[in-house]
Structure 1
């Protein structure tokens, strides 16, 4: 039985982190793990959940210094002798690091919020972190109301302390076995600030198994809104009060707002309520029991939560009850909900009093409840979140090497359908695939050597290019190659799938080329996705690896939902039946050729065609440039945001043709995606496109001759697009998942046979 220690600094309130922790305890306890909770301060009245109090270790440290408290925690945890430590928020990450150093116990981090603690300003971080943090604040002006951009002068001793704890904080991330975060934005920030990979999992609403009716004394004529959470500046509670003060007296009858929770802002909020003469409308309730909360939520009209937070569990709780939620654009959960198609109950604001006031009045005029099916909410259930944790824990260190299977570490793992298809296929074929990026840390190399047969590399950028200078990139690249040589020397086989000749951001190209050249010689097998890629690789690096394999991209048929009709899709996107529609879909970067269409007047030449430009834009300043160029073009319909998997079908089913004006690339997943949806294609006469589409009736143009694109578009709309689409779908199906998986496994077996 595995022993797990859950560590959190205190349990004195019942907020999102505490709700998560209780559900995590229940889940692992139910699976049969021996599990204990270690904490400092505790309010036991708030945590009387069955037998849970008997599993809580209260560590009553007498030390006034952080270092002393951390050592007291570490001693108590080490005495219990767990196999794994799960650390929740700060400073639990520092405690877990200390346990690891003293007792060798592996640990994982559960990050619940803004991992750089802006509440304490930037004083506790070294200059390395402060520069990044200040840049982050400047890019997000909405959070400047909570954070001071100025840095006070500090004495030498204080700066030493700051730098010490900053280093410890950094080490706690880099030495952790796994890091779990709540949103994709937080995943991006962990990589930016710490250079570590992390795993997104979506915990859900708190399940109260007690049947609770609505508030018996509630007046059905009342319009009641609830705020639930800690009373601090990031929740914009002052703006809620100011918003209510802006509501005209004629619209106030029946309006009730309860601010539920405790925190440092209570006194100032009480004062603000009195100054605005709102004590009959706004009530501060303090902390409530879970039963009281559930009763109020069932009887209220909606939730007020315009908070700047990384997640916002209360929003999920409200959605589970069908409640509308007035929130903010920078509430972390909002972006995740929009990506999941759960935005119908969300009324977003910019966080200002005026915007909040407008939404309150809008909801008061037209109240609603939309019950969301369990099947839709399931993505955010605690069961799914913790199953995700167990899955990754097993891949990292709970699962021993199995001699009768091929044990693979595949890095880096991105949110990418290509990798998902390959990994699923390999696991179905009896392989064990791990994807924990942090296992390639120097400390973990021994475990990697002992537990894997193959290291399968994909994009190399994260290993040495996510740094701030050429010197850092050079050092990181040397360390990366040393690790690869060490693994190869110990018998681990190295396989590299080459996606790009050089990185798309063109960072530190000399270093990038040097690493590519050396890895081509070190790898036991190299995989490219076309004959064109093989030729370009040889041209770029002057030689062809001896063990080079061509395995095409897999079809995406069956990966994305594809159930709606053309008519339904067009209705959803407000397109008419007779509209001519061209689609450019995917991650929009400069090299993808969108500016080619604009700069050469192609869009203006075809005013009768609707152009859909769909997908997230990188970098951010390119998005602003595109929107400026789109201004005034009535036939351009952009959606420059992440598109959830379940919405991809709307854009492909609603459009007639995909256009791929790419010029500088090695392979193209978007070509395969277009074929998988049965789309005719207009593309450049690039070698990769010509190879994959050889023998088909798709349409090519020369990038240096815009007139050839005009001809291609005209010819396409004079063709039988339906027939061409069916032919393209058949072509996509020839790149079946089973075939691509089998070819990949053949490569593994071949290199393993050379031991």
Structure 2
């Protein structure tokens, strides 16, 4: 019999086959009443979800990937065997590619209608708020309407920043009794980390003395691309002529991303790999670097900064409480979004935060966001809120 990766490859039995498998694990590892929780969309390139759900079985919750979001209600068929719930993550796919408001209203009504039917049949709903708005939002008012509709149907709203409710006040009404704060887990043990700094730099053609700033992840306009190039040029001119900007990630199809890739490709002090980075090569870019960059125009949660810290890198981030709250307090440099001179100064400060002791301090700090502990906290909180019933 050939291997079929359940939860990775859709089949005619999905997602029920995967849900039954997860239910058996929940029953095996916990005496509590089992919960089958279908989550969607599924992100396999990013280990965030595997970290988030890693302790769920021992808490009696079978976290089940739903590869096709339109099937999110299918786990409701297991209601005779367990409490059933759905956990929504990024909502950008609901209105993706829609630039007509009437079409957006129909898509929103269809999505919310499926949630209503699931809840009417006894299911619970949770949502993790990842972003202030989807990064590729076209109709922002339609996205806000969708998000408000989801929030009103939630038994639990998971936030990873303690500042989320305040940041969204005025654009999203949340029942704060349903808000559950559990921070973003670290990426400890998610990526290979066996290459040395010398081997990583050798592979990328970087000299030992060069100061390296890395931007890792999808190349998108909201990440302050043009500002970063201008600020890096000024930093290299005024402070460190041997500095390197190292960029790794797939660009989207925006004009800003295309222009950035074109300039970076021709730049003598920039190294760029404009493609998705295989998981086993992530270590090359992070072990070769001295500083991790997140020079974003807007941010709520940043998986990149958690990954940088997992590899012991000090970070450059916006001077905003949600960007700073989980970072090492002494090994970070902040700037006001849009302030080119401020970013130059942040690069200078971060560039001075290098060395084995800094790396050890940052790695130790990152371990405080222990994935197993945070996963148990989330599972416990979701069970409590699901048991409390639907929103008032």
Q: TM-score range by the shorter chain?
A: 0.7 to 0.9
1:511 aligns with 2:142: yes
Change (3 A) 1:474 1:688: same
Change (3 A) 1:466 1:419: farther
Superposed CA deviations along residues 288-317 of structure 1, whole A, max 9, x for unmatched, are: xxxxxxxxxxxxxxxxxxxxxxxxxxxxxx
Superposed CA deviations along residues 485-517 of structure 1, whole A, max 9, x for unmatched, are: 221222211111111222211222222111211
CA-CA distance at 1:435 after TM superposition: 1.7
CA-CA distance at 1:694 after TM superposition: 6.2
State the match for 1:669 in structure 2.
Answer: 303
Q: Distance in 2 between matches of 1:386 and 1:715?
A: 47
Contact 1:527 1:549 in 2 (8 A): yes
State the match for 2:164 in structure 1.
Answer: 533
Contact 2:165 2:174 in 1 (8 A): no
State the match for 2:121 in structure 1.
Answer: 490
1:602 aligns with 2:222: no
| 3-state secondary structure, aligned to 1:462 | helix
State the match for 1:480 in structure 2.
Answer: 111
Q: Distance in 2 between matches of 1:624 and 1:508?
A: 22
State the match for 1:361 in structure 2.
Answer: none
Select between 726-735 and 467-476 the one with higher mean Cα deviation.
Answer: 467-476
| 3-state secondary structure, aligned to 2:113 | helix
State the match for 2:349 in structure 1.
Answer: 715
Higher RCO (CA-CA < 8 Å; seq separation 6+): 2
State the match for 1:412 in structure 2.
Answer: 41
Q: Distance in 1 between matches of 2:315 and 2:7?
A: 40
State the match for 2:30 in structure 1.
Answer: none
Q: Distance in 1 between matches of 2:156 and 2:270?
A: 45
Change (3 A) 1:446 1:685: closer
| 3-state secondary structure, aligned to 1:643 | coil
1:524 aligns with 2:155: yes
- Name which one, 1 or 2, has greater alpha-carbon Rg: 1
Q: Distance in 2 between matches of 1:399 and 1:659?
A: 39
Change (3 A) 1:483 1:743: same
1:703 aligns with 2:334: no
Q: Distance in 2 between matches of 1:576 and 1:509?
A: 45
Contact 1:701 1:709 in 2 (8 A): yes
Contact 1:439 1:448 in 2 (8 A): no
- Equivalences for 1:221-260 in 2 at 5 Å? none
1:458 aligns with 2:86: no
Q: Distance in 2 between matches of 1:501 and 1:386?
A: 32
Change (3 A) 1:612 1:630: same
State the match for 2:363 in structure 1.
Answer: 729
Contact 1:426 1:741 in 2 (8 A): yes
Q: Distance in 2 between matches of 1:440 and 1:394?
A: 12
| 3-state secondary structure, aligned to 1:699 | strand
Correspondent of 2:16 among 391, 396, 404: 396
TM normalised by structure 2 equals 0.86
Q: Distance in 1 between matches of 2:8 and 2:174?
A: 42
Superposed CA deviations along residues 224-280 of structure 1, whole A, max 9, x for unmatched, are: xxxxxxxxxxxxxxxxxxxxxxxxxxxxxxxxxxxxxxxxxxxxxxxxxxxxxxxxx
1:684 aligns with 2:318: yes
Change (3 A) 1:468 1:444: farther
Q: Distance in 2 between matches of 1:613 and 1:431?
A: 39
- Equivalences for 1:334-373 in 2 at 5 Å? none
Q: Distance in 2 between matches of 1:742 and 1:442?
A: 23
CA-CA distance at 1:530 after TM superposition: 1.0
| 3-state secondary structure, aligned to 1:541 | coil
Superposed CA deviations along residues 661-687 of structure 1, whole A, max 9, x for unmatched, are: 112121100010000011111222122
Q: Distance in 1 between matches of 2:75 and 2:105?
A: 21
Contact 1:521 1:545 in 2 (8 A): no
CA-CA distance at 1:548 after TM superposition: 0.6
Q: Distance in 2 between matches of 1:421 and 1:540?
A: 30
1:615 aligns with 2:249: yes
Change (3 A) 1:628 1:486: same
Q: Distance in 1 between matches of 2:244 and 2:147?
A: 42
| 3-state secondary structure, aligned to 2:300 | coil
Correspondent of 1:435 among 65, 71, 82: 65
Select between 448-457 and 733-742 the one with higher mean Cα deviation.
Answer: 448-457
1:749 aligns with 2:359: no
Contact 2:15 2:75 in 1 (8 A): no
Contact 1:663 1:686 in 2 (8 A): no
State the match for 1:383 in structure 2.
Answer: 3
Change (3 A) 1:650 1:482: same
Contact 1:520 1:526 in 2 (8 A): yes
| 3-state secondary structure, aligned to 1:724 | helix
- Equivalences for 1:168-317 in 2 at 5 Å? none
Name structure 2 gaps, 5 residues minimum: 28-32
Superposed CA deviations along residues 445-503 of structure 1, whole A, max 9, x for unmatched, are: 86366665111111112234344633222101001111112212222111111112222
| 3-state secondary structure, aligned to 1:716 | helix
Superposed CA deviations along residues 196-242 of structure 1, whole A, max 9, x for unmatched, are: xxxxxxxxxxxxxxxxxxxxxxxxxxxxxxxxxxxxxxxxxxxxxxx
Alignment length, in residue pairs? 375
Correspondent of 2:263 among 622, 629, 632: 629
Contact 1:395 1:433 in 2 (8 A): no
Change (3 A) 1:513 1:657: same
Q: Distance in 1 between matches of 2:349 and 2:73?
A: 60
CA-CA distance at 1:428 after TM superposition: 5.2
Correspondent of 1:574 among 188, 205, 209: 205
RMSD of Structure 2 on Structure 1 (CA): 2.8
- Equivalences for 1:64-103 in 2 at 5 Å? none
| 3-state secondary structure, aligned to 1:433 | strand
CA-CA distance at 1:620 after TM superposition: 5.7
| 3-state secondary structure, aligned to 2:56 | helix
Superposed CA deviations along residues 17-49 of structure 1, whole A, max 9, x for unmatched, are: xxxxxxxxxx1xxxxxxxxxxxxxxxxxxxxxx
Name structure 1 gaps, 5 residues minimum: 1-26, 28-381
Q: Distance in 2 between matches of 1:699 and 1:578?
A: 22
